[in-house]
Amino acid sequence: MKHTILLAGSGLMMGGLSAFVGLPMIVEIILWIIVFGLWFLYGLRVPMEAPVRRFAFGSTMAGLMAGSMQVFFMEKYQANNSWYQQVFETSSAQDLATRLLIQGIAVGLVAGIVVGLLVRWRLNAREA
């Protein structure tokens, strides 16, 4: 449980940064890679059962939390991310909200599986 809370909390942090500060896409991607790198190190240092399942679930929750922050603070998100203006103009608020949530969940799930597999691979290599 503590692993999930920690991982999902990083989604709140990233969602808050993108909503209240505004992050160009490349900066957001770099920050997520740093977060996933920290998760990888966390997975190597803290004993946990089934790292793939834990990271997949935690990362999916992080993506959901990030997308939720962006949706809940949609006006701030739009004001602080002017480089997405074309997307904002061509999408209704409902479509944009759905897109942000689905994108967060999907990216979170895939990234969590990748990090979990890397952690499991590294731990198995250590034992061998």
pTM metric for this prediction: 0.88
> Which amino acid is located at 34 in the chain?
I
Domain spans in the chain, listed from the N-terminal domain onward: 2-127
The pLDDT, as a whole number, for residue 58 is 93
Report the candidate in 52, 62, 40, 60 with the shortest Cα–Cα distance to residue 106.
60
Q: Provide the residue-wise pLDDT of the chain in tens; the chain has 128 residues.
A: 677 888 888 999 999 999 999 888 899 999 999 999 999 999 999 888 899 999 999 999 999 999 999 999 998 988 898 877 777 888 888 998 999 999 999 999 999 999 999 999 999 988 87
Distance from C-alpha of 29 to C-alpha of 44, rounded to nearest angstrom? 23
What pLDDT score does 83 carry? 78
